[in-house]
Amino acid sequence: MSTAVSPLAPTNVPELPPLDGVKLATAAAGIRYKGRTDVLLALLDPGTAVAGVFTQSKCPSAPVEWCRLNLKGGKARALVVNSGNANAFTGKTGRVATALTAKIAAKAIGCKPADIFLASTGVIGEPLDATKFDGVLDQLAEGAVPGGWMDAAKAIMTTDTFPKVATATVKLGKAKVTINGIAKGAGMIAPDMATMLAFVFTDAPIAAPALQSLLKAGVADTFNAVTIDGDTSTSDTLLAFATGAAAANGAPKISKASDIRLKAFVKAFNAVLANLAEQVARDGEGARKLVEIIVDGATSKASARKIAMSIANSPLVKTAIAGEDANWGRVVMAVGKAGEPADRDKLSISFNGIRVAKAGARDPSYNEAEVSKAMKSPEIQIKVALGLGKGRDRVLTCDLTKEYIAINGDYRS
């Protein structure tokens, strides 16, 4: 874990309120780090619904496989997360470790192992010693309390420089419901469903199938529209839990995602996802610039997404931004290589609202001093207008600095 906090870290961090049906506890189990918490236990009331989306990597971690298998039951009693070891590419040993972790947690709580959901983050390829959870999870189960969200977010960090939290309160029917979320992620980020690890909790009474639909729809323009380095993790896990405790206050029970009463809730839920996803981009390893890329005038939204991601994942574009250079030639390169419809002579490009290229050439009003000044901002917007159709999309990324190489060169050392 880095010691210097990213200069892009949010200045206003919300205090997450206690959420009915959820109790939290953290501990230092010595998984990899010394002198810091590395295990999180979230205790969930009986009847809590669960939904999840996971990495599309063809080499998923053992915890991802465990969660996929048990998601079919639609119910959860606990979430156990460890940092420092991803339990990925660990073969049979990894599967044994997940089963043992779930067994230890289930015994501590008094439920079935299938009701325990797991996530791990950290080094790939190192066996996870699940015996380290023995005794620790008993203590956590006894000591879990409402609140403690910031401690929970800190316990799941690896190379993150700040904990990532978000919250929203909204009406469901006539009752107030809460949505709290925590996330981690700073490198190996090109989510193909979610980020490395993110967990969202609500006291709204929403059935698992409806929650699954909301979650799947919600990631499309939030976590799936973020990239740090173009590398999709083996461990990407986004889980949502609905305890249903707000039903006691009159919140209606929701069984379908299409229920009209969910309109305000969906907006708030997606806002929490978007907030967490942006924080991941802000904490990109070594990042000094938050970069928003907007592509419009594409033949479709899907085409705009591919072009935006081509720009966002280009090391040449990202290093130019790190050097505060509005090098639109590199943006043109990234547009052209994306394999999507584009017409060089209709293309225009802007940096922070200043158009630098128009109709396939440098803008006649281009002013180097003006653009150089704009590039010193910690937040950079690159806008590409293709002039071919109505397709539009937006993705977030960050610049690529020497610190990224230093962090990842030393990662296993």
Q: Among 182, 48, 44, 158, which Cα is nearest to 105's?
A: 44
- Residue 142 known to bind ligand: no
Residue with tokens 């909301």: 214
Residue 88 burial class via C-beta count within 10 angstroms: exposed 0-12, middle 13-18, buried 19 and up: buried
- Residue 158 known to bind ligand: yes
- Residue 167 known to bind ligand: no
The crossing angle, in degrees rounded to 10, of helices 328-337 and 315-322 is 160
- Residue 373 known to bind ligand: no
Report the chain's C-alpha Rg in angstroms. Answer: 22
- Residue 234 known to bind ligand: no
Structure tokens given for 339: 């394999």
User: Which is catalytic among the residues 90, 195, 227, 243?
Assistant: 195
How far apart are alpha carbons 42 and 333 in whole angstroms? 46
Residue 365 burial class via C-beta count within 10 angstroms: exposed 0-12, middle 13-18, buried 19 and up: exposed
**φ and ψ at residue 280, rounded to 5 degrees:** -65, -45
- Residue 413 known to bind ligand: yes
Q: Among 124, 242, 238, which Cα is nearest to 185's?
A: 238
Is position 397 annotated as part of the catalytic site?
no
Could you tell me how many residues make up the chain? 413
Question: What is the β-pairing status of strands 290-298 and 237-242?
Answer: unpaired
Would you list which residues are annotated within the binding site for substrate?
Answer: 158, 184, 195, 285, 408, 413
Active site residues: 195
